[in-house]
């Protein structure tokens, strides 16, 4: 099964991730643990399966888009890839420097300046301090913040906050970039600029894994689409095809529901 690491950026082999629901909710302090002792000891925790035996390979330089309904395991997939959380079982292999963009401006502090926040954020995301200082001028230029860069971030509008967050994120020189739904913010001009920058990164050979609800952007950014449903990969192929199949099924489902509604109404009418 082992493949040439020079070719594969990310490999999931039989990866599962379970969350223990009651453990999270009830065992946060000693008192509640004692209160729920019988249940706690009887091990009656309800495991929630976020990822169920997932096999996935992302080749170097490839761009993979993951779609699926809410709670299907898309974000969990990215978190496992980023190393934020370990899988419950299975093997994860990641070759190259990963930068996970699961949220923009993680760790930004409102009371310090944009400049200082940008440096800390860049180091947090994966640069060393020297590297962060070296790309800082690019980050500031890209963010178009001008003199505001030296103002405390509490004075920023949400758009400015987003712009700085994104500017840092795209300048941390990842080999593998994981993006979770963070593109759909900001004004049209800045969005275009972001898209353009991401295309640029792709041309440089950066591997991209994108989680999105935006079915239209998937074919624009990705070579391959993956559909996740209830923690399993249920469809895989060209982005157009996967999106098409998925939408067709959602539509069919909606049509079915509408039909049910009709029947129900009819039955009620007949009943009266």
How many angstroms separate the CA atoms of 38 and 44, rounded? 9
Question: Using the rule CB under 8 A, is 21 a contact of other proteins?
Answer: no
* C-beta closer to other proteins: residue 24 or 204: 24
CA dihedral 139, 202, 215, 125 (to 10 degrees): -40
Question: Using the rule CB under 8 A, is 40 a contact of other proteins?
Answer: no
Q: How far is the CB of 142 from other proteins (least distance, A)?
A: 20
Question: Using the rule CB under 8 A, is 83 a contact of other proteins?
Answer: yes
- Helix (H) / strand (E) element for 49: namely strand 47-59
Question: Using the rule CB under 8 A, is 102 a contact of other proteins?
Answer: yes
Q: How far is the CB of 253 from other proteins (least distance, A)?
A: 32
Question: Using the rule CB under 8 A, is 150 a contact of other proteins?
Answer: no
58 phi and psi, to 5 degrees?
-120, 120
Answer whether 119's CB lies under 8 Å from 164's CB: no
Choosing from 13, 27, 219, 223, the residue that interacts with other proteins (CB under 8 A) is: 27
Q: Which residues of 145-156 are buried (b: 16+ CB within 10 A; e: fewer)?
A: beebbeeebeeb
Question: Using the rule CB under 8 A, is 189 a contact of other proteins?
Answer: no
Question: Using the rule CB under 8 A, is 35 a contact of other proteins?
Answer: no
Question: Using the rule CB under 8 A, is 118 a contact of other proteins?
Answer: no
Question: Using the rule CB under 8 A, is 44 a contact of other proteins?
Answer: no
Interface region with other proteins, contact rule CB under 8 A, candidates 26-34, 137-145, 216-224, 245-253: 26-34
How many angstroms separate the CA atoms of 137 and 232, rounded? 43
Choosing from 51, 64, 125, 168, the residue that interacts with other proteins (CB under 8 A) is: 125
- The residues near 125 (Cβ < 8 Å, ≥ 6 apart) are 99, 100, 106, 168, 169, 172
* C-beta closer to other proteins: residue 34 or 216: 34
Binding site for other proteins (CB under 8 A): 19, 24, 27-31, 79, 82-86, 98, 100, 102-103, 106-107, 109, 111-112, 116, 119-120, 123-129, 132
């Amino acid at each position: 099964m082992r493949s040439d690491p020079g070719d594969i950026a990310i490999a999931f082999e039989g990866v599962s991730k379970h969350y223990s629901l009651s453990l999270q909710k009830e065992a946060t302090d000693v008192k509640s643990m004692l209160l729920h002792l019988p249940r706690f000891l009887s091990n009656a925790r309800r495991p929630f399966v976020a990822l169920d035996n997932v096999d996935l390979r992302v080749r170097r330089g490839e761009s993979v888009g993951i779609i699926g309904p809410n709670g299907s395991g898309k974000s969990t997939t990215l978190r496992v890839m980023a190393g934020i959380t370990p899988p419950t079982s299975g093997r994860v292999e990641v070759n190259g420097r990963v930068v996970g963009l699961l949220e923009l401006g993680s760790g930004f502090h409102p009371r310090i300046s944009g400049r200082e926040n940008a440096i800390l954020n860049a180091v947090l995301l994966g640069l060393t301090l020297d590297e962060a200082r070296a790309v800082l001028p690019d980050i500031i230029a890209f963010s178009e913040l001008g003199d505001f860069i030296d103002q405390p971030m509490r004075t920023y509008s949400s758009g400015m906050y987003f712009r700085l967050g994104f500017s840092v994120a795209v300048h941390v020189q990842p080999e593998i970039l994981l993006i979770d739904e963070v593109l759909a913010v900001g004004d049209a001009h800045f969005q275009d600029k972001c898209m353009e920058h991401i295309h640029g990164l792709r041309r440089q050979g950066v591997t991209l894994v994108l989680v999105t609800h935006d079915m239209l952007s998937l074919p624009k950014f990705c070579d391959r689409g993956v559909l996740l449903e209830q923690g399993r990969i249920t469809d895989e192929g060209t982005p157009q095809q996967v999106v098409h199949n998925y939408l067709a099924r959602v539509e069919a489902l909606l049509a079915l529901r509408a039909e049910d509604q009709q029947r129900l109404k009819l039955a009620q009418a007949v009943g009266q």
